[in-house]
Amino acid sequence: MTDAARARRNAPPREEVLAAAMGMIAERGLEKLTMAALGREVGMSSGHLLYYFRSKDELLLRTLEWSEGRLGAARGRLLSGTAPARERLDAYVDLYVPAGHRDPHWSLWLEVWNRSQNADDDARDRQAAIEKAWHRDLVALLAEGVSGGEFRAVDPDRFAARLRALLDGFSIHVAIGLRGTDRERTLGHVRDFLDESLDGRGRADS
């Protein structure tokens, strides 16, 4: 067996590599995540990492997909509960908005978005799949709230698109540490918007 084959056989599972990459982003910042530094963290050479991930762009996207998988599981548990739809909507928003400046998941999202300008179709499709999962769950929750009379008669798909655009804008401000914007202020703005927009006693959406 060659040294390269032996190293690949003894390499940690990909999930461990992705978890290590996310841990490095959280502890040291995205700018410190290099193939060489990650290799030292998991006991692999940068060449072996490239064998698995082909490029840093692919490593970042795989790490984002791994992180999103964990968030998706948490989102599923929140949304499948028996609490009122508005309480679950607030929980969705809470999960969506960054924890604060340099939130590692959002730092990774921003980097992947930036790199997507030159990404191939496969990478773009995978990013779109992540976005669609958040959108699909939000549409279902809004439809449930409308049908149950908790929310006024908005179009769930249109309202979800607008709400997620609002959340993205605020979340970017929080993640980059824009002065005058923080998580609690953002959550307050979103709560006010939802109170004004989804009051079940209001008129139907036009």
What pLDDT digit, counting tens, does each position of 147-160 carry?
999 999 999 999 99
- Cα 90 from Cα 116, distance rounded (Å): 30
- Cα 175 from Cα 181, distance rounded (Å): 10
Identify the band that residue 96 occupies on the pLDDT scale cut at 50, 70 and 90.
very high
Q: Specify which residues 199 forms β-bridges with.
A: 151
One DSSP character per residue, 155-186 reads: -HHHHHHHHHHHHHHHHHHHHHT-TT--HHHH
Q: Is the dihedral of CA 96, 101, 103, 107 positive or negative?
A: positive
pTM > 0.85: yes or no: yes
Tell me the mean pLDDT in the region 37-51: 90
Tell me the mean pLDDT in the region 81-101: 96
